[in-house]
Amino acid sequence: MNVAGVDCGAKSAKVLILGDEKVLARVAVLSGFDPKAAAAQALDEALKQAGLSRGDLSHVTATGTGKNEVVFATSEITEVGADARAVIVLFPAARTVIDIGAEEGRAIRISPEGKVIDFAINEKCAAGAGTFTETMARTLEVAVEDMGPLSLKSQNAVPMNAQCAVFAESEVVSLIHAKHSKEDIARAVHDAMADRIASMARKIGIDKSIVLVGGMAKNVGFVNSLQRNLKEEILIPENPEYSCALGAALTAAERAKGA
Amino acid sequence: MKPTYKTEPLRCWAKAKEIRQDYYKNYALAHEKGGLRWAGGAWSFDAIPAGLGDDVYPLTGEPYAAAIAWDKEFALQCHEAVEKAGYARDLCSYMRNYWGSIILNKYVFGGEFPKPDFIWQDHICCSHAKWYQVVRDLEGQDIPMYCLDVSVGPYEELTDNRLDYVVGQMHDGIEWLEKVTGRRFDDERLIRAVSNHCRSTALWAEVCALNKAIPAPLDEKTMYSLYVLGTLQKSSGIVADFTEELRDEVKDRVARGIAAVPNERCRVMSDTQPPWGFLKIFRYLEQYGCVSVGSLYTFGLIGQWEVKADGTWGARTTPEQMGIVIRDRDQALRVLASWELKKPEWQHFYSPQAKSEMMIRIAKEWTLDGVLLHYNRGCEGLSLGIAENRLAMIKAGFPVIVFEGNMGDEREFDEIQTLKRIDAFMESQGFEKDSQ
């Protein structure tokens, strides 16, 4: 039985296809201004990768900010539910999930059965999401992929107070003028973001094990900052940005069986 | 999905709307009838100016500002006007809406903003007295203003001295009213108004208590349009009589099993003022069969409660029901102060713990499945301690969803994010939308 999970996020649409509980394909396409088209393109590319056609899929479950744009989906699930579903399969001992995507940061406490006990999501401010790092990378004139490795070379912890992406940008400019190194500023950005995320996670209570997913889990600098802040080991799956898509696909498989 | 319960519209709905419309019209047209206008808060002791005559019309600030918030375009104009005038964006959003309406000289119900003849206020939070000081700055220092200090602590700690302090200010206030209006104060009218005040507020509690029934006969979005009459003029006979009619109708709905939400399968309560421009979130909940049966705010801002013999919350016994006959001004003022200072919404200004206890009581007695907390950036008073309330509710075993917003300033509310939170919360509690 083949099923697909589609995570139509703020920055990219991700599709993951499962065939008999094995991952057959993973594809991400930038959402741009047309998330509907991006989701369709991601599905077609994933099907091609898996050697399947749309008719071969028993069920498609959509999640993400743009889940309503996934017109070909059979059902939907929230990002919170999808994350919980995926992480409990990847790490059965997980009790806290932190997901940092482009637009949103989430902390979820889950039961041993993978049931959501409580959750918190960052508010309107972008300072708790991946877009924040991108903006700061632009200000520092470095590629966003280099922000993580760069921050690991930092020799000094520079405090950065701003909790808002707009104020943080002007603070970064001030730090540049104060001749702080790019390495130290990159670390300050990640530390500030980790502060915000850790505070959100503490609101719902943190239980071990902690799993980090979402695109920001690929940023080694942020992971380092968050680990130092939480003083706990953080587990990261192989393809962390596909967590929601995997959760959606697992849900699709369940629903296909139940149908 | 087939509805589980029968539903039908409220018969007295149109009457509630009519009373509200008349209230705002009467205030605007007071001078044409040879009457007087007074402005003040929804917490002010409105039974006292009633002693000046039946042609003395109030405009209470909070519900007026909430009406502005509902008109998103006008609310935005108000905020921009206030900010342009130099007032900070993080002040009470009701206050900012009200000031904006004055600065723009536009009454939200049409025409120019009607200037009050006097201000009758009490200082319940950091903003309330300041609110009307600025009204005088904007409208003219010639508007006489009287403000009662009511900071006498929680009701359970109310001593004779503390009560005397409030009642003394009321006596002074009556002399002041006579002086600034040139009218003679009528104690008989005061006594009647105090009696109406007690009747309106006890009856509203009775209406809310009827919502313990499953299915709930009323949903909170509807309740907002009904309780508002108590925030306009709880001392008026019209409001007291209407609330009695409403109580009878709701009682009848309970007896016949009439539901507010015919697919009810999940019950929650909210907290604090909602984002008035986005009451549709309550309709969104209904897609999950979820009814918000009220809140400490909806129950306790107007309603007067007491613990009944069986230990549950019920409507407070009025002085009249206790056989007390009010004979003179001093007795009327004592009854009024003692009655009003007991309402639940006063109490939690002094203690988030007291608020949590009342919320847990509601969650248990109204058989709730969860709580929807509004982190309301527009009201520092009622949001005080709300994060502690969240922890207490969770500890008591009630799941909580929080969303940030503002009762009067939609720029601080994110509709899509809020709906996403509701989806995640409902899903985590095992509820599905009817369409799925």
Give the model's pLDDT for residue A124. 62
Interface test with A, best of B400, B427, B431, B435 (most A CBs within 10 A): B427
End-to-end Cα distance, chain A: 13
The mean pLDDT of B309-328, rounded to a whole number, is 97
Nearest by CB to residue A80, choosing from B394, B402, B428, is: B428
Residue B280 CB contacts under 8 Å (≥ 6 apart), including other chains = none
**Residue A159 CA to chain centroid, in angstroms?**
25
User: Looking at the DSSP assignment, which residues form a beta bridge with residue B404?
Assistant: B375
For residue B229, pLDDT over 90 is answered with: yes
The mean pLDDT of A34-44, rounded to a whole number, is 95
Q: For residue B435, what is the nearest residue in chain A, using CA coordinates?
A: A75
For residue B407, pLDDT over 80 is answered with: yes
Share the mean pLDDT of chain A. 92
Interface test with A, best of B284, B428, B431, B436 (most A CBs within 10 A): B428
Q: By the CB < 8 Å criterion, does B414 face chain A?
A: yes
CA distances from A219 to A145, A146, A212 (A): 7, 9, 11
**Residue A123 CA to chain centroid, in angstroms?**
16
Q: What are the chain A neighbours of B394 within 8 Å (beta carbons)? A: 118
Nearest by CB to residue B424, choosing from A65, A119, A124, is: A119
Nearest by CB to residue B414, choosing from A116, A120, A124, is: A124
For residue B347, pLDDT over 60 is answered with: yes
Contact B417 A123 (CB under 8 A): yes
Give the model's pLDDT for residue A127. 59
Q: By the CB < 8 Å criterion, does B436 face chain A?
A: yes
The mean pLDDT of A170-191, rounded to a whole number, is 90
Q: By the CB < 8 Å criterion, does B415 face chain A?
A: no
Contact B424 A124 (CB under 8 A): no
Give the model's pLDDT for residue A134. 85
Domains of chain A are 1-77+242-259 (3.30.420.40), 92-236 (3.30.420.40)
Entry pTM: 0.90
In chain B, positions 349-408, which contact chain A (CB-CB < 8 Å)? 394, 399-400, 402, 404
Closest CA to A242 of A46, A37, A95: A46
Q: By the CB < 8 Å criterion, does A78 face chain B?
A: yes
For residue A167, pLDDT over 80 is answered with: no
Let me know: does B196 contact B235? Beta carbons within 8 Å.
yes
For residue B40, pLDDT over 80 is answered with: yes
The least confident of A167-181, B119-133, B410-424 is A167-181
The mean pLDDT of B2-6, rounded to a whole number, is 89
User: Looking at the DSSP assignment, which residues form a beta bridge with residue A106?
Assistant: A99, A121
ipTM for the complex shown:
0.82
Give the model's pLDDT for residue B192. 98
Torsion over CA: B1, B2, B6, B9 (sign): positive
**Residue B78 CA to chain centroid, in angstroms?**
22
